[in-house]
Amino acid sequence: MIEFRNVTFAYEKEHPVISDISFTVKEGESVGLIGANGAGKSTVMKLILGLLEGEGDILIKGIRCEKKNLSEIRSLCGLVLQNSDDQMFMPTVCDDMMFGPLNAGMKKEEAEKITDTVLEQLQITYLKNRYNHRISGGEKRMAAIAAVLSMSPEILLMDEPGSALDPYNRRLVINQIRKLPQTKIITSHDLDLILDTCERVILIGNGRIQADGPAEEILRDKTLLEANRLELPFRFQ
Indicate whether 14 pLDDT > 80. Answer: no
- Does residue 129 fall inside a structural domain? no
Instruction: Tell me the mean pLDDT in the region 230-234.
Output: 96
| Count of domains forming the chain | 1
- Does residue 69 fall inside a structural domain? yes
Range of 177's domain?
A: 2-83+154-236
Per-residue pLDDT of 118-133, as tens digits, reads 999 888 999 999 999 9
- Does residue 11 fall inside a structural domain? yes
20: left (phi over 0), alpha (psi -120 to 50) or beta: left
Q: How many beta carbons lie within 10 A of that of residue 170, not counting itself?
A: 21
SS3 assignment for 117-177: HHHHHCCCHHHCCCEHHHCCHHHHHHHHHHHHHCCCCCEEEEECCCCCCCHHHHHHHHHHH
- Does residue 222 fall inside a structural domain? yes
Bridge partners, 184 (sequence order)? 30, 156
Q: Report the chain's mean pLDDT, rounded to a whole number.
A: 94
Gap between the Cα atoms of 124 and 2, Å rounded: 30
- Does residue 72 fall inside a structural domain? yes
Per-residue pLDDT of 15-49, as tens digits, reads 899 999 999 999 999 999 999 998 999 899 999 99
Banded model confidence at residue 68, pLDDT cuts 50, 70, 90: very high
* Half-sphere exposure (Cβ direction) of 187: Cα atoms closer than 13 Å: 19
- Does residue 18 fall inside a structural domain? yes
Gap between the Cα atoms of 174 and 114, Å rounded: 23
Per-residue pLDDT of 133-167, as tens digits, reads 999 888 998 999 999 999 999 999 999 998 888 89
pTM score:
0.91
Q: Is 35 helix (H, G, I), strand (E, B) or coil?
A: coil
Element (H, E) at 81: none
Q: Is 163 exposed, middle or buried (0-12, 13-18, 19+ CB in 10 A)?
A: middle
Q: How many beta carbons lie within 10 A of that of residue 108, not counting itself?
A: 10
- Does residue 30 fall inside a structural domain? yes
Measured CA to CA in angstroms, residue 96 lies from 87, 110, 129, 133, 164 at distances of 9, 15, 10, 12, 21
- Does residue 171 fall inside a structural domain? yes
**Percent of the chain whose pLDDT exceeds 70:** 100
Residue 159 has a pLDDT of 92
Residue 165 has a pLDDT of 84
Residue 12 has a pLDDT of 78
Report the alpha-carbon angle 188-19-38, nearest 5. 35
State the CATH number of the domain containing residue 167. Answer: 3.40.50.300
